[in-house]
Amino acid sequence: MSVGTTLLGLLESGPRHGYDLKRAYDEQFGRDRQLSYGQVYATLSRLLGNGMIEVAGVEHGEGPERKRYMITDAGVTDFENWLATPENPEPYLQNTLYTKVVLALLSGRDASALLDTQRFAHLDVMRTLTRRKNGGDLATQLICDHALFHLEADLRWLELTAVRLDDLAEVVT
C-alpha cells in the first residue's frame, strides 16, 4: 500500500496538518501498524516536491511552525488513477484493497465500481492460472491450485465487502 497515495486521499476532503493526517491514517488504517511522524513528514515532503500537494498555510505559535497541506490537481489525478487501477491479484492484498475502498467512500467515489474492477482483474488471473494448471504437470497444478485458493478467498472478500458497503460507509464517514 502506498502511504503517499493514502495521504493524498485523506487530503482530498480539505487541507490538514501533518499531525491530523497521521491521526486520520492511524484511525482508519493503522490498527496493526501506525505511521511514525517521520514517515508522515518524509512522505509529505516527497509529495510536495512532486507537485502532488502544496502548503495551504503556516501557523506560527510557541512551538515549531505548523504547515497545512492541500492536494493539488495533479495530486487528485494521481489519487484517482490509483483508485481506478486494480491491484495485482496476490496473497495478502486485502490491506491495500481495504484502504482503497475506505478512501473511495471518504471521497464520495463509487467504491462498488472499484470492487468490480478488482473482481474482473482477479477473474482474469484465475482464468490464466486455470489454463496453466490444466496443461501442466503435477508440480505446476499444485502451484496453480495454491494461487487459485488465495484468489478465491480474495473474491469472497470482495463480494462480502460489496454487500457491506453501506454499513462500511456509515462507519468510516
Residues lower than pLDDT 70 in the chain: 1, 31-32, 90-94
pLDDT for the residue numbered 31: 67
3-state helix, strand, coil in the chain (%, to 5): 70, 10, 25
Q: Kind of pairing, strands 53-59 and 66-71?
A: antiparallel
Residue 145 contacts residue 133 (beta carbons within 8 Å) = yes
Class of domain 1-85: mainly alpha
pLDDT for the residue numbered 90: 65
pTM score: 0.69
pLDDT for the residue numbered 88: 78
Q: Is 159 helix (H, G, I), strand (E, B) or coil?
A: helix
**pLDDT digits 0-9 by tens, 6-32:** 999 999 999 999 999 999 999 888 766
pLDDT for the residue numbered 72: 97
